[in-house]
């Protein structure tokens, strides 16, 4: 039985293949994902302010960038550089390298990614 957060990628035979997201994406809920197929990149944002007795605070996942190469999720990821207490809810692509991250109860952030 698999309990990790997953994404499904299509294969050459048009089947779907389950791919577990990396550890950084497992730490708290993902609230939004943006797929840039031209760059082979997936950006995600999240975080949660709730407290669970068995897990504690969920403030551990403010977002990252994942790369896809040859239909496989690369093991490396890069941070979006958001503050650890940002409660991100949405990521919007503004242009080729700039994204707007919309947060609950706090400032929104402009993220510029380097190629």
Predicted pLDDT at 38: 86
Predicted pLDDT at 111: 93
Is pLDDT of 1 > 80? no
In this structure, what token pair is assigned to residue 114? 């380097």
- Condensed to tens digits (0 to 9), the pLDDT of residues 12-41 reads 888 998 888 888 788 778 899 999 888 889
- Condensed to tens digits (0 to 9), the pLDDT of residues 55-104 reads 666 666 678 898 888 777 887 778 898 888 888 999 999 998 899 999 98
């Amino acid at each position: 039985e698999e309990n990790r957060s997953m994404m499904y990628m299509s294969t050459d035979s048009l089947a779907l293949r389950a791919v577990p997201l990396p550890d950084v994406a497992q730490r708290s809920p993902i609230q939004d994902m943006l797929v840039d197929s031209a760059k082979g990149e997936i950006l995600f944002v999240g975080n949660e302010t709730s407290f669970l007795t068995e897990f504690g605070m969920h403030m551990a996942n403010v977002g990252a960038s994942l790369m896809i190469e040859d239909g496989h999720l690369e093991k490396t990821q890069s941070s979006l550089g958001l503050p650890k207490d940002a409660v991100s809810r949405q990521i919007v692509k503004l242009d080729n390298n700039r994204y707007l991250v919309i947060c609950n109860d706090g400032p929104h952030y402009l993220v510029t990614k380097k190629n």
